[in-house]
Every structure is written in C-alpha cells, then in structure tokens.
Structure 1
Amino acid sequence: MARSGIMSPADSALYIANNSKHVKIHEEGIEKLCGEMLQSMVSNKLEIPDTGASIQYLSKEDPRSVDWIYVADALNFCFWSYSGAEKWTVDGHSGYYALEAALSRALKEGHNVTNPEYYSKITADDLRHIFRSDNDAKVPLFEERLSVLHEVGSVLIEKYNGTFTTCLKQASKSAEKLLRIIVSDFPCFRDEAEFKNKKVSLYKRAQILVADIWNFFGGSGWGEFEDIDKITMFADYRVPQVLVYFGAMSYSDELMDNLKKDILLPSGSEEEVEIRGCSIHTVELIKRRLKEKTEGQSNVQVPNSSLIDYYLWCYRRKYADELEKVPFHKTLGIFY
C-alpha cells in the first residue's frame, strides 16, 4: 500500500505503538469506547453523530463531484487555532467545514474550483477571496494551500487528463491501488516520517480522499472499492483527542503538560508520530474488538476503520465543549 521501502499505515502504526514512549494504548478505554459505539448501532449499522452542519454539496450525479472531493481533500489540513484565538470561519462554519463552505460558495460565485486548468494557476488574490472569512481570522498556511493547488492541478493535467476520475479508473475499484497512485504521483500527499530508524507512513489526506469518495457515493459507482477495509483511520489532531477522552490512549505527564501549554510539536517529531501512529493502531484494535463483540449476530455491519474515524471525528464536533477538557496536539504542516 505504501511506497517502496516505507511501511504501510497499518504496519507503521503497529511498529510505532510497540515502540512508543510518550503515548500508551489502554484496553479498558477501548472497551469503554466500544460500548459507546455499540449503543450507536442503529438498524445493525453504526450511526454517525449529527454535527448540525448544513452545507450544500454537489449531487452524486454532478460530473464535478469527484473533482470537488479531490480538491477539498487536497486542502484538508491545519485548521486549528491557539487556545482562545479567533477561528477562521466561513458562513458560520469553522475547521474543515469552513473549507467546504468556502469551496461551495466559490462554485456559486462562478469560480471553477473543480477544474485544474483554473486552480493550477490560481493567483494568491483569487484564493484569498475564496478563503475570505466571516471575521478577521485568516485561513492557516495560506501559501502552502496555494502551492498545493498548483501542484495537484498540474499533475492532473500532465498525467490524468485533467480529472481525478482518471485515477479512479486506473485503480480498478481497489482502494490500495488508488492510495498508491495518490502517494506516488502527488508529492503533497506523502505523509511519511522516520521513526526509530524505520520509514513509516500515516497518509491521512490520501486515505481520507479514498474514503470520502467511497462514503459520498455509498460504495457504488465511483465509490466502489472492493478492499475499502484496507484503509486505516485518518490520523489528525482531533480523533486522538477523543481517544484520550475515553481513556483508549494516554499521554505521558511531560507530553500532556506541553499540550496544555500550546507548545507546537514539529511535524515528524517523535511525540507527534507517536500520537498519530498510536491513534491508527487504537482504531484497528477497536475495529477488531467490535467484530468480536458482534460475532454471531446476524446482519450486523461491523464498521471499517474509516467509519470509526468518521464516528469519532463527528463525536468531537457534536460534543466540542466537553472534549475541550482534553488538549489536542498542535502541529503546523500540510499533512492533516
């Protein structure tokens, strides 16, 4: 699944968890979280918490929909703000939802944001207009977002006939093959690090791109992947917050103190890689435990890692005030 010489996200996560000093995984917390999730199984299927977001999306029939998801996930990184700071908001939405709202607004205003011929050459002024906020806060890492758009747009034009649907066709309904295409040909998606002398991968944005297409199309059409279960969760800064809240993970006293003080963790640092790698492995353990708990129950759909991730991420959005008791780690970078 990963590039040559680099462990896959699942193998990387196991290795990181087995060698972690600052982050620990706890069976009792996994049990607690599994119990919470089992209570959310509606009609034998995991019910994702309603976050209350109301953003108008393209329809599944819209020929631009795949490329809209592609652009959104290319830009899906670094929305956090320091404690007490004003948040970047668009039409009342913050975080990733603000990005979706900005792209939706841009389409309504006539900006061709799904066309790489447009965004591969988009000017800084035009992108600033698209990302304009409800307040004085600016979108984080603006220059990096501009660079990402130029890069991913140029690759689509040069290699894939100007549309991400070409990548889907070449993947032949394989999530693993699509992931390889993404991380091989689009450098900004190469979410990799070195941890204790081994090259590991986390691939948050690349994997969420695959899973978002699968989820949006309901596992059919463009979203049909025969091996979607091979995708792990998407290691960001919010899902670990939920895992710590439920006691499925814990941080060392030193790391927790640093997070409470808003001290930045450099991208690729030992602590940052441990938080993200242990999060991936914890979700794999949750998936395994849910399967064990529902074994023998007819027609129960055991959620895959991406659905567990969606559940945890939406849980954090729904119970944001309560979850703020647990500090989240802060890293500046394009990978999540």
Structure 2
Amino acid sequence: MATFFDISGASKIIHVAKYVSLGNDENFEKAGEELKAFENLPDSEQLANQFLSPPISLSEEDTFNWFFLMDLINFHFYYENGQQYTVTFKNQKFVGSMGLAAAINRWLEVNPHAVKPEILANITKEELQKILVDDSGTDIPMIDERFAFIKSTYPLLIKKHQSFLEAVISLEFSPKNILEYLQNNFPCFCDESDYNGHKIKFHKRAQLLIKDILTNCPESVTKRGFTTDFSYLTAFADYRIPQILCNFGLLLYNDELKNAIKNGFLENSKMEIEIRAFSIIACERLKEITQLPAAQIDTILWKMRRTIGKELDKMHPFHKYYTTAY
C-alpha cells in the first residue's frame, strides 16, 4: 500500500546530502530491538506525569477541537537565550509542547468553551498573550505567528464545517483524506521545503494531529464503523526526534553541521532540511525492522527522548531553526 512517505520526496536527497548521513545496519538493528522492548513497557510514573490530555469534562466535539488547536500552534518552544517555554498547571511545571497543553487546559478552567471555533475565530492578540503567557510572564515564542494562524484558520473551518469532528467524520477518519483536507483548506498546515529543486513534503503538525485523534479518541472512530489505522503516515520531522536518532547512531552529522548547531540557530536551510528528511528516512528503516508504523515509532522515540531528558541535550544538542513547522 502506498504511504505518504512514497510521495514525500524525502528519499530524493539521500545521495546528494552534504551534512547528514545514515548510520550502519548494525545500529539500526540494535535500535529496532530497543524500540520494541520499550514499546512493551508501561509508561513510568516519571514519564506519564509529563503528559497532558484534554480535560475529561470536554464533549466529544470539543475534545477534537482541543487537538485541532493544540496542533495548529504546536511549534517553536524555546527562546533566544536557550530557555524553554514553561507553564505551571496544578502545581506542576510543563515544558515545550506540554507547556502549551498546560496553558490551554488552564484557560479551559476559566472558560469551558475556550476551544470552540467560534470563540477562537474572534480572539484578540491581547487575550491570546494572556492565555499562553509562560511562568516568567513572557509571551510564548512566536506569538504573532500563532495569532495569525488562529485568525486565518478558524473562519475557514467554520465556513466548511462547524467543528473539526464534523470534518473528520465526513472524511471517514482516513489519514490520507484528512491530510489532503488539511493541506487543501488550511495554508498554515502546509509544511514543504525545496532542496536543490526537489520538493520535500513534511507536514509535521498535520500528521501529528491525525495521529493524536486516532490514538486518543479511538471510540469516536470505531463507533462510527471506521478504523484507527495510521500506517499511511510518516514520522513527524521536528527538532527532538533527530536527537534520539543521533543517540542511537542512526543519524550522523558532519563537523560543519555539529558546529552550526552548537553556535545557535541554524541559518543554512539545507542543513535543516537534511536533518528532517533523514529523520523520516531513518524511521522508515526502523519501520521495516520492527514492523511498527512510522508514526508509532515516532511516538516511542519521543517518549525515549523524554526518559533520557537533559542528558541527551548535552550529548546531542537539538538544532534550532526559526520555523512554524515544528
């Protein structure tokens, strides 16, 4: 069966890449074994406490609206000084994307209807700043871009469907159909890059949104007679998955790229594209070894990265790049 990887264009740069290459077969086999072992383990208490989900009080429709908002603005969670976006919710600190989830859940305690499209379509920048402010009182990074995404997207969603749930029901919960729907109707979900004339499609946030609803809302899918098969998807190319892939020796960076990462934000777009493309390629190889869907491999790697924590940042610093893609 054809998958999104087949049309992504990621494999086109394998033989022309300058900064990134793949590790050897032995490393991939060993990593595959570790992934399968990790998948069979229950989440540790330390790991489970890092995750946030929509409040159970939300309706089915608003649960889907929660994930839509979350992945619409799920990008770039670090400041120029290297600090991560951090939000305390119910006496616990959450960082990065989970900090965003914490901010949304904090808002829902004040406004139970906060994630409804008609509310978000009319939100002001000042309101959004207060909702997403971090613990230091600083705006979330790239607040202007997040506000622009919300203001441009929700009127389009309302025009086509009253809610995201209504949309995905009409699309039969098909990952391929939903991905095409998001790309064709919401420009801010478009995530494509040009590498020496080759178009590479990543669509990280769109794919993550699909995986989120299929994984977290299976009853909504199955009760309507559909399946939760997300084998069509690739891994979600961002700045954290490459870290853990480097730790396994599956991605190899040359000295020029390593130095660029250490020096701060990447300015060479080819470096950034190679990192993301090779991350997808590496996860496809792990898919062949483990027989697990690439999107599931992504989730396992993401959890493994969180388990290692800050030690990984020291061994393999993540690349920084100004982008709304991830």
Q: How high is the TM-score relative to the length of structure 1?
A: 0.86
Q: Deviations over 1:276-306 (max 9, x none)?
A: 0110110010010113xxxxxxxxxxx3111
What's the counterpart of residue 222 of structure 1?
A: 221
Task: Assess if the C-alpha contact under 8 Å between 2:266 and 2:272 holds in 1.
Answer: no
What's the counterpart of residue 136 of structure 2?
A: 135
What's the counterpart of residue 255 of structure 2?
A: 253
Give secondary structure in 2 for the equivalent of 1:188.
helix
What's the counterpart of residue 19 of structure 2?
A: 22
Give secondary structure in 1 for the equivalent of 2:252.
strand
Q: In structure 2, do the counterparts of structure 1 residues 119 and 10 end up closer, same or farther at CA, with 3 Å as the change threshold?
A: same
Task: Assess if the C-alpha contact under 8 Å between 1:24 and 1:249 holds in 2.
Answer: yes
CA RMSD of aligned residues (A): 2.3
Q: Counterpart of 2:260 in structure 1: which amino acid? A: N
What's the counterpart of residue 266 of structure 2?
A: 264
Q: CA deviation at 1:227?
A: 4.5
Alpha-carbon distance in 1 for matches of 2:109, 2:241: 32
Alpha-carbon distance in 2 for matches of 1:278, 1:309: 13
Matched, 1:113 2:103: no
Unaligned runs of 5+ in 2: none
Unaligned runs of 5+ in 1: 292-302
Corresponding pairs, count: 313
Q: In structure 2, do the counterparts of structure 1 residues 51 and 260 end up closer, same or farther at CA, with 3 Å as the change threshold?
A: farther
Task: Assess if the C-alpha contact under 8 Å between 1:175 and 1:225 holds in 2.
Answer: no
Matched, 1:70 2:72: no
Q: In structure 2, do the counterparts of structure 1 residues 171 and 18 end up closer, same or farther at CA, with 3 Å as the change threshold?
A: farther
**Which protein is richer in helix relative to its size?**
2
Written as runs of structure 1 = structure 2, the 5 A alignment for 1:1-336 is 8-11=4-7, 12-26=9-23, 27-42=25-40, 50-53=47-50, 55=52, 57-59=54-56, 62-82=60-80, 85-91=82-88, 92-110=93-111, 112-160=113-161, 162-218=162-218, 220-222=219-221, 224-225=226-227, 227-265=229-267, 269-291=269-291, 303-324=292-313, 325-336=315-326
Q: CA deviation at 1:54?
A: 5.4
Q: In structure 2, do the counterparts of structure 1 residues 56 and 169 end up closer, same or farther at CA, with 3 Å as the change threshold?
A: closer
Q: In structure 2, do the counterparts of structure 1 residues 29 and 206 end up closer, same or farther at CA, with 3 Å as the change threshold?
A: same
Task: Assess if the C-alpha contact under 8 Å between 1:10 and 1:281 holds in 2.
Answer: no
Q: Deviations over 1:205-227 (max 9, x none)?
A: 00000000011023x42375465
Q: CA deviation at 1:114?
A: 1.4
Q: Counterpart of 2:280 in structure 1: which amino acid? A: I
Q: CA deviation at 1:8?
A: 4.5
Q: In structure 2, do the counterparts of structure 1 residues 226 and 124 end up closer, same or farther at CA, with 3 Å as the change threshold?
A: closer
Q: Deviations over 1:219-243 (max 9, x none)?
A: x423754651010110000000110
Q: CA deviation at 1:141?
A: 0.3
308-317 or 16-25, which deviates more: 16-25
Q: In structure 2, do the counterparts of structure 1 residues 79 and 13 end up closer, same or farther at CA, with 3 Å as the change threshold?
A: same
Q: CA deviation at 1:138?
A: 2.8
Identity %: 30
Q: CA deviation at 1:333?
A: 1.5
Q: How high is the TM-score relative to the length of structure 2?
A: 0.89
Task: Assess if the C-alpha contact under 8 Å between 1:232 and 1:305 holds in 2.
Answer: yes
Q: Counterpart of 2:264 in structure 1: which amino acid? A: D
Give secondary structure in 2 for the equivalent of 1:90.
strand
Q: CA deviation at 1:38?
A: 2.6
Give secondary structure in 2 for the equivalent of 1:194.
strand
250-259 or 28-37, which deviates more: 28-37
